[in-house]
Amino acid sequence: MTNGAQEITDKLVSRQIKPSVHRMKVLEYLINNQNHPTVEQIFTRLKSEVPTLSKATIYNTLNAFVDAHLARVITIEDHETRYDHIIEDHGHFKCESCGAIFDFAISLDSITAAELDDFVINDKNVYFKGLCSRCRYKNQTDILKGECICKQTPSKV
C-alpha cells in the first residue's frame, strides 16, 4: 500500500505546505506506517535513508502537519508523544498493562454535545484505557512493555 509521490505532494499542497523532500518523506512514513510513531522512531528510520537528516526537521515538519490538520498528536499520558496520520473515525485504546496502543473503529459523528452547538469542532478524539484481552486473561504484565503493536486489530491479539 505504498503511496505514490503524487498523492503525497497533493496532500501537502492541499494544506498549503510546500512539498519539500523531507516533508514528503515524513508524510509518507506516517501514511505507510500507521503505528503511532514517536519522533525518535521516525527520525531513526528516515535517517537511514537520508543520513544528513536533523531531528529538528522532524519536529518542525510534524508541528507543521499538526497545525495543518494533516497529523494529530496522540498523548495517552506517559509523555510519549506519538503522531497519527489523520484518518476519520477511529479511536485509540491503550492497555495499562502492556502499553500497546490499538486503533478501533468508531463513529465520531454520533458523538455530539448540545452545549457545543455554537462552537466550531475541527477535530474529535476518543481514547480509552484499560486492559487488552491478552493482558486481561494472561496477566502478562511484562511482555511487550512499551511496544506498539497497534497494527494488530484488537480482536486478533
Partner DNA sequence: TTACACATTTAGAATCATTATAAATAAATA
Partner DNA sequence: TATTTATTTATAATGATTCTAAATGTGTAA
Spatial separation of the C-alpha atoms in residues 17 and 60, rounded to whole Å: 12
Q: Which of residues 5, 7, 130, 145 is near a second copy by CB under 8 A?
A: 130
53 binds, among a second copy, DNA, none (CB under 5 to 8 A by kind): DNA
Q: Decide: is 23 part of the binding site for DNA (CB under 7 A).
A: yes
Spatial separation of the C-alpha atoms in residues 137 and 150, rounded to whole Å: 19
Neighbours of 74 (CB within 10 A): 16
Phi first, then psi: give them for residue 29, nearest 5 degrees.
-60, -45
**Count residues contacting DNA (CB under 7 A)?**
21
Q: Decide: is 10 part of the binding site for a second copy (CB under 8 A).
A: no
Which span (54-62, 94-102, 117-125, 142-150) binds DNA, by CB under 7 A?
A: 54-62
Judge contact between 70 and 112, C-beta under 8 A.
no
Q: Decide: is 52 part of the binding site for DNA (CB under 7 A).
A: yes
Cell representation of residue 37: 510513531
What would the x/- binding string for a second copy be over residues 107 to 126, using CB under 8 A?
---xx-x-xx-xxxxxxxxx
- Please list, residue by residue across 131-140, b when 16 or more beta carbons sit within 10 angstroms of its beta carbon and e when fewer do: ebebbeeeee
Phi first, then psi: give them for residue 44, nearest 5 degrees.
-60, -45
Residues that bind DNA (CB under 7 A): 18, 20-23, 38-40, 50, 52-57, 59-61, 63, 79, 81
Residues that bind a second copy (CB under 8 A): 66, 73, 75, 77, 79, 81, 91, 93, 95-96, 102, 104-106, 110-111, 113, 115-116, 118-133, 136, 153-155
